[in-house]
Amino acid sequence: MKRIKAFIPYLLAYRWEISIGIIALLATDLIGLAIPWILKNFIDLLPHKPSGSELAGYAGLLFLAAIGQGVSRFGWRKYLFGPSRKIEVDILNKLFRHLQTLDKTFYQNQKVGDLMSRATNDLRAVKDFLGLGLLVVLDAVVVIVAAVALMIAINPRLTMYALVPLPFLSILFFGFIKTIGARHTAIQENLARITSMVQENLAGIRVLHAFVQEEHEMKRFDDLNRKHIAKNMELAKLFGMFTPSLVLTIGIAALITLWVGGKEVIAHQTAIQSGEVVENAFSLGSFVAFNGYLLMLSWPMMAIGYVINLTQKGLAAMDRIQEIFDSRSSLVAEVSAASKELSEGGIEFKDLTFNYPNEPDPVLNNIDLKIAAGSTVALIGMIGSGKSSLAQLIPRVFNAEDGAIFIDGQPIREIPLDRLRSHIAFVDQEPFLFSTSIRNNIAVGRSDATDEEVDTMVRCVHLTPDLERWPQGLDTVVGERGVSLSGGQKQRIALARALIRNPKILILDDAFSSLDIETEAIILRNIQKITHSLTTIVITHRLTITRQVDQILVMEHGRIVERGNHEMLIKNEGLYQRMYTNQALAREMEILLQ
């Protein structure tokens, strides 16, 4: 119940439509129940040789009932299914809004595929539950109660006999439902295994083909799929029993009616023929109407199974969606009233220790660092030494402890997030581009950017030579539906979109890794030309630019182990000197062979 509670507000938003829908549904059911009654009277009338106008009257009555039923059916379809679809859209919009507030800590622990599945498959299950599920429950309850009541009114004794098989139905039902659930889960798990095998095969296709593993992989895939057949058939056998059992149960009830009821009708007729007056008359018409009501029960009985299934799926899906809604961003806003515009771009770390949420060991230890506004700093070190972690703390991709990072003297936690980020440009190694035109990608953070500004940026990041290769120049669409860009092109576009926002702080997290050294140098020179007093932090594995920076920071195991300029650090004969020597070939190659 608690789980459903979270979804009640969505329903309430459409309370009028839903009310109309429910009323229409009740009307449909009531008219539906009236029809066998009309037929009953009609049949009972037949032996009395009715006139043509009487017959036409019954025909007209039935026709009117059908019109009424048609209209009310239209009503509930439109006003019960309609809101459920609108609610689906509402929830999805809200979910999207909520997902936007969640920070990287959340996304690191989630697979995109899984989130997608929650937003699509699970949401569909919720929609079905809220629309179809509630509808069917309501419908079933009304029909069962009313039909049974009418049956009792016609013939209480026969009703008792006819309903004997029904308890058996519920026993059958609850016996099945658990096993069905378990087998269903087993199938889903196996399907997940198939999915991840395909995914891994495609991701590692180079290795698999280089080592001629096609046949072996196909055999593995074959096995997995054979298991899938087996598991599906286990469920199919159960389901194959289930539905026919329901039909059988209803059939037995109909049989009892025919047999017991038939005898009663005969007795009744014999009595009439012998001129006796009988109470509780069970006429032929009553018999037919009774049969009609019994048939009406069959659908709600079968629907129970359907509803239980829908409910199970729906509630599980609600849980999974609610999990996302319950997640909170760790970026709490502690905006102080005194917060002022960032003007300089000076950064200071004060005894910063940082560990990722839910990780016991810190990745950064006691970092004390001052980066003067307008200066350029190179962060170097091995993979996993903490360079990127340090850089990501500045635009608050992750949250640093209180009072550890300051920009222009202000603790970053006190700066509104959007203001902070509008002054920081962060470019990483594998930038994410939107599937829109290159121009729109560059202007993404500055919708008011003029074409000239975009062109300036294109020149600045040295994209001009690439422009001719794209069919529509800057208006070429990126991604699946357009051109696929090389790593270097993506990196340069990402740099352009960062710079066009005119930031105070530029962070380049291995952002030139796919560019050759010459282009890198040109771009860095261009950046200096078009910006003034831009605080720049460069994380790099290639030690080609370290000669030009104001300060080099060498990191190891989350600490800054060496700092100074190139000459100082080479003399130091430490980590920097060793790395510099190791990379001599790569570096010289780049220089010699350009």
Partner 1 sequence: MTGETKENLENKYYDWPLFKRILGYLRPYRFLVVISLLLLLAVSMLGLAGPYLTKVAIDDYIRIGRYEGLNRIALIYIAVLVGAFVFQFLQYTTMQYIGQKVMFDLRTQVFAHLHKMSFRYFDRNPIGKMMTRTVNDVEVLNEMLTSGLILVFSDLFTLIGIFLMLAWLDWRLMLMVCAVFPFLYLATQAYRVRARDALRKNRAHITTLNSTLEENLSGMTTVQLFNQESTQYRKFWEINRDKLKEDLRSLHYNSIYLPSIDIFSAIGIGLVIWYGGGRLVQGEVLLGVLVAFLMYLQKFFEPIRDMAEKFNIIQTAMASSERIFELLDTPEELPNPKHPQSVSRIAGNIEFENVWFSYNKEDYVLKDVSFSLKEGESLAIVGATGSGKSTIINTLLRFYDIQKGRISIDGVSLKEMNKQDLRRHMALVQQDVFLFSRNIIDNIRLGNASLGLEEVESVAQSVNSHHFINNLPFKYEQELIERGSSLSMGQRQLLSFARALAFDPRILILDEATSNVDTETERQIQDAIHELMKGRTSIIIAHRLSTLKTVDKVLVLKHGEVQEFGTRQELLRNKGVYYDLLKLQMELSD
* Binding status of residue 557 toward partner 1 by CB under 8 A: no
Beta bridge partners of 560: 555
Query: CB-wise, 350 or 446, nearer to partner 1?
Result: 446
> Of 254-283, which residues contact partner 1 (CB under 8 A)?
254-255, 258-259, 262-263, 265-266, 269-270
Q: Who's near 447: CB < 8 A, 6+ residues apart?
A: none
> Of 59-78, which residues contact partner 1 (CB under 8 A)?
59-60, 62-63, 65-67, 69-71, 73-74, 77-78
Query: CB-wise, 196 or 533, nearer to partner 1?
Result: 196
Q: Single out the residue of 196, 280, 366, 528 in contact with partner 1 (rule: CB under 8 A).
A: 196
Question: From CA 315, how far away is CA 237, in angstroms rounded?
Answer: 26
Q: Single out the residue of 161, 173, 176, 221 in contact with partner 1 (rule: CB under 8 A).
A: 221
Stretch that binds partner 1, among 11-19, 148-156, 459-467, 582-590 (CB under 8 A): 582-590
> Of 400-439, which residues contact partner 1 (CB under 8 A)?
418, 421-422, 424, 426, 431-432, 434-436
Beta bridge partners of 371: 347
* Binding status of residue 467 toward partner 1 by CB under 8 A: no
Query: CB-wise, 372 or 467, nearer to partner 1?
Result: 467
Q: Are 277 and 135 in contact (CB under 8 A)?
A: no
Question: From CA 349, how far away is CA 52, in angstroms rounded?
Answer: 99
Query: CB-wise, 74 or 168, nearer to partner 1?
Result: 74
Query: CB-wise, 81 or 456, nearer to partner 1?
Result: 81
- Angle, alpha carbons 135-141-144 (nearest 5°): 130
To the nearest whole angstrom, how small is the minimum distance from the Cβ of residue 108 to partner 1? 10
Q: Are 569 and 552 in contact (CB under 8 A)?
A: yes
Q: Are 151 and 290 in contact (CB under 8 A)?
A: yes
> Of 498-527, which residues contact partner 1 (CB under 8 A)?
501, 514-517
Q: Single out the residue of 2, 481, 529, 532 in contact with partner 1 (rule: CB under 8 A).
A: 481
Stretch that binds partner 1, among 134-142, 224-232, 347-355, 559-567 (CB under 8 A): 224-232
Q: Single out the residue of 14, 42, 290, 293 in contact with partner 1 (rule: CB under 8 A).
A: 42
Q: Single out the residue of 4, 30, 92, 372 in contact with partner 1 (rule: CB under 8 A).
A: 92
Question: From CA 533, how far away is CA 490, in angstroms rounded?
Answer: 26
* Binding status of residue 245 toward partner 1 by CB under 8 A: yes
To the nearest whole angstrom, how small is the minimum distance from the Cβ of residue 20 to partner 1? 13
* Binding status of residue 23 toward partner 1 by CB under 8 A: no
Query: CB-wise, 4 or 483, nearer to partner 1?
Result: 483
Edge-to-edge strands of the sheet including 364-371?
Answer: 364-371, 347-354, 405-407, 410-411
* Binding status of residue 572 toward partner 1 by CB under 8 A: no
If binding means CB under 8 A, how many residues of this protein chain bind partner 1? 154
> Of 317-356, which residues contact partner 1 (CB under 8 A)?
none
Q: Are 35 and 292 in contact (CB under 8 A)?
A: yes
Query: CB-wise, 157 or 220, nearer to partner 1?
Result: 220
DSSP state of 190: H
To the nearest whole angstrom, how small is the minimum distance from the Cβ of residue 532 to partner 1? 23
Query: CB-wise, 145 or 218, nearer to partner 1?
Result: 218
With the C-alpha atoms ordered 457, 461, 465, 471, is the resulting torsion angle positive or negative? negative
Q: Who's near 267: CB < 8 A, 6+ residues apart?
A: 282
Stretch that binds partner 1, among 11-19, 170-178, 308-316, 382-390 (CB under 8 A): 382-390
> Of 106-125, which residues contact partner 1 (CB under 8 A)?
107, 112-113, 115-116, 119-120
Backbone angles phi, psi at 347, to 5 degrees: -120, 140
With the C-alpha atoms ordered 130, 135, 136, 141, is the resulting torsion angle positive or negative? positive
Tally of CB atoms within 10 A around 282: 22
* Binding status of residue 49 toward partner 1 by CB under 8 A: yes
Q: State the DSSP string of 531-573.
A: -SS-EEEEE-SSTTSTTTSSEEEEEETTEEEEEE-HHHHHHHT
Tally of CB atoms within 10 A around 157: 13
End-to-end CA distance of the chain: 69
To the nearest whole angstrom, how small is the minimum distance from the Cβ of residue 49 to partner 1? 5
Q: Single out the residue of 244, 334, 459, 572 in contact with partner 1 (rule: CB under 8 A).
A: 244
Q: Are 584 and 591 in contact (CB under 8 A)?
A: no
Q: Who's near 382: CB < 8 A, 6+ residues apart?
A: 556
